[in-house]
Structure 1
Amino acid sequence: MTGNTALGTMFGAASADTFMGIPRCRDLSRLTARMALIGADGCTPYPSVGFYCAGGPAAIRAAGAAYAANLAHMNFDLGGPVFPGGVSAVDAGDLEQDIGDPAGNRSRIFGAVSQILDRGGVPMLIGGDDSLPIPMLEAYGARRRGFTILQIDAHIDWRDEVQGERLGLSSTMRRASEMDHIDAIIQVGQRGIGSARMQDVQDAEAWGVGFVPAGEVARSGIGRAIDLISEGAEVIVCLDLDALDPPIMPAVIGRTAGGLGFWQVLELIAGVAEKARIVGFDMVEFMPDRDVDGQGAALAAQLLAAVMGIVARQG
């Protein structure tokens, strides 16, 4: 037994095959919980990188196993237990994604999210590369119009195509802007030099995106980002983990200095939940091969637990 494992056991950690040991859901068509967690190793890969975040959901679940025996304990990130009125979430496991079947991968994500929404639940999608949110966002189109996206990311993802692929990880927000049911997009955390061309930025601004770069967050806080969310809006939060600063989140493909801190991300999401309603959440771009001593996985698990607690507290 390693020292870390021994310490975890001393403080109540237990083995679990679901995130935090929450109940398993094997049939989403019978969902009764408030939220449902699903994982996916990838969706629409570029030929040059494939499923480079494979194993991400498994790593985050493994880090969350430390909470399994003490889920009802005090969570100081929330001021109470994760689920104050009893566990209100289930884990539906990972979708079987095939690197050679992008259309099938998208269909499986679309279908799982649709089932959760049909049952009145909040989808919580973990991965996996940043092409996952495209079919997730598409699934909301059959419900109603007028959704807002809050994207927290180091990059803006407004490329029309990369290597001939229009549904890949660099095009997520451009594809979202083309969906009739998306009314507003707020993007927080941009920094450094990424894949965006000047025309991509101009196209995003012309569409109406509200940008809050990481430098502004560092200087002035998250207030303007929350102000850009309309009162009472229904918000889908898309969190790319490279939005966080590399010293605390090393497990990403594109480490860029100057990222957001844990509390900035958490308080942004909590602030949105206070004035609007979170109806979906994804956490993507976790790359296990780049993690350092499990640090990134532990942070992702802590953040995911807190977001679940925020959603559980919504009216």
Structure 2
Amino acid sequence: MATILATSRSFGDGSRDLVGELERAGHTVLRGPSDHGLDALREALAVADAWIAGTGPVTAEHLDAAPRLRVVARYGVGTEAVDVAAATARGILVTNTPGANSDAVADHAVALMLAALRSIAHGDRQVRRGDWRAVRGRELGALTVGIVGFGRIGRGVARRLGGFGSRIVATDPMLTDEQVRDGGAEPLDLAAMARECGLITLHAPGGQTLVDAGWLAGVARPLVLVNTARADLVDEAALAEALRDGRVAAFAADTLAGDTAGTASPLLADDLADRVTLTPHLGAQTVEAVDGMGSIAVANALAALEGIAPPNPVNDPDPAALAARRREEQA
């Protein structure tokens, strides 16, 4: 039986008791912090056979501290925080859970669009102060909406927007124009979106900055920007200035740079509170998404431990390195 380390905040918190299921099957489940602080995880990593990993970093140093580890089962789709090359070199499988939270994040993106367009959070704060003055907003169906990143979540957003009557445009470097059209959007590049869109929603992978001072300089009308993807897609200092000078009318996001570490963001400034709406990584936090991510991560981990191909592999580990790790276990 295996020792399984779980560091995702919401693992097993849905309608399925995944921890109980694993324990009843004879496995030991250890919990660890979601930020993956190495010192806090050393003891668990030393005995872990599988790691159901949250959004924190999984570095070569983490892997070196885990001599028995056979699989890192990411709880979610993104693997940019995982040193996949280091895992591959050590014979460790990396898996993810594609599609498990797509509907939840697409729902949340549309919710943030409406919250930003209609000043929902600001209006709530006003009423609680006894201030019933109306703030005029915009209708989603009257806008051209740009979707940056047209994978599962981006296409899910497009489907939802169809009911509002918005003109929908999209860009994705991995797709042809015809594939974009098949997903329900007109192809339009990011620079043109700055000129034509009233609202842009980000669903691209991290590791790049798309909204920076140069791009914001090309915005032709007050823009609403939504980010339910990765914080590093946005230059927050440049965006704060664009909010102040009116090029960006509102920003709504489920993430900020350094948010889990408590780092202050320029977007949290008091003078921007009426134009910035933030949620604490709620995009994937539905019962259905939590169950989906958890069950897929468990299936990936158990398959890898049983020596069979997992449903959702990300890498192809070095078989010689894997054999060496197994010899070390048996020594």
TM (norm. structure 1) is 0.30
TM (norm. structure 2) is 0.29
